[in-house]
Amino acid sequence: MPESARSEIGSPALLRGLLGGALMGLAMLVPGISGGTMLLAVGIYPRFIRAVADVSTLRFSTRALVLLGCVGLTAGVVLFGLAGIVKGLVFDHRWVMYSLFIGLTLGGVPVLWRLLRRIDVTVAVAAICGLAAMVALSLLETGSSSAAPFSAPSYAMLFVAGLAGASAMILPGLSGAYLLLILGQYVTILGALDEIRAGLSAGDWEQVAGAMEVVIPVGLGVGVGVVGVSNAVKYLLARFGRATLGVLLGLLVGAVVGLWPFREAVEPALGDVIGGVELTSPAMVADVKPQDFRTETFLPSLGLLAGSLGLAVVGFGISSIVSRLGGAGKSTDR
């Protein structure tokens, strides 16, 4: 192995790649945290972008392959290991988790602010466009009904969800897990990952095969998204840097609109209509999956509101600290 290649994949570089992958895996599970920001925090974001761009254009090197392998391996371990835990927390403790998500999301604003340094007309217009797009997505999610729990999976939607997840790997400040929430695929995907883990542990290959109907289209979307988004980001930042960062800023701030924490899942009852299907028997009610439960908004008490604000502050602090560890926001090496 050439000396230059050996030095690039030494212990410090390997450790940063492994840590970056672990943080990226957590970011993909938790709405509000950006995988790109996590890579900035550990100081490997520029090299990760270059490595993806090189491999996608068939320019292979030991340096790129080792870095991508480290990041991908640890991200996958975290995803499969913690998917069930995170899914349960989101479903059973919604206001707690969403309050944290709001803080974690807003904690990414200083990252982009330091990259922008100042606000001009270009940045302002781009940010408004990004904000409007995210608000529109939130309203779409609020007004839409759940997919019918008795129908086959929507492979097209799962593929789109994979594309959304890929954006979190590439774009600092934008959370792909949040986009999965908006698209209504967050719990579905986490549940499939947890079913694969459980099926492998129990040797239940039928359970694994069923979950793969979700994982395969999502994985294809992630693969296409990583390649496409990474090359697009390099081009847009090089040609329209401030406008691109402005859009990202608007997306980040607008994400908070869809994270209203004071909503609770309501278990279905006989006669309810879920995704256009009327529940006419106890068996149909029992077959409705948690991700298909409808949600209702409730007015929080002063104590609950104070607790939510406190958790948001904690989330903001965590996200800000992680972003500053590796000097995130000082440079994207564009």
Segment 68-124, tens digit of pLDDT = 898 889 988 888 788 778 767 877 788 888 888 888 778 778 877 887 888 899 999
Q: Within a domain: residue 77?
A: yes
| Ordered DSSP codes for 7-60 | HHTSHHHHHHHHHHHHHHHHHHHSTT--HHHHHHHTT-HHHHHHHHHHHHTT--
Which residue reads 């309203």 in tokens?
139
Q: Within a domain: residue 3?
A: no
Q: Within a domain: residue 169?
A: yes
Residue 153 is given by DSSP the state P
Segment 133-186, tens digit of pLDDT = 878 866 765 544 444 444 445 788 889 888 887 776 677 666 777 777 777 777
Q: Within a domain: residue 59?
A: yes
Q: Within a domain: residue 2?
A: no
For 9-36, what is the mean pLDDT? Answer: 74
Residue 152 is given by DSSP the state P
Q: Within a domain: residue 62?
A: yes
Using CA atoms, how far residue 38 sits from 21, 32, 88, 104, 171, in Å, is 9, 12, 24, 12, 10
Segment 200-257, tens digit of pLDDT = 888 888 888 888 988 899 989 988 888 888 888 778 877 888 998 888 888 778 878 7
Q: Within a domain: residue 7?
A: no
Structurally, the chain folds into a number of domains equal to: 1
- Report yes or no on whether pTM surpasses 0.85: no
Q: Which domain holds residue 27?
A: 12-322
The closest of 229, 246, 216 to 179, measured between CA atoms, is 229
Please name every residue paired with 278 in a beta bridge, in sequence order, or none if there are none: 273
Q: Within a domain: residue 4?
A: no
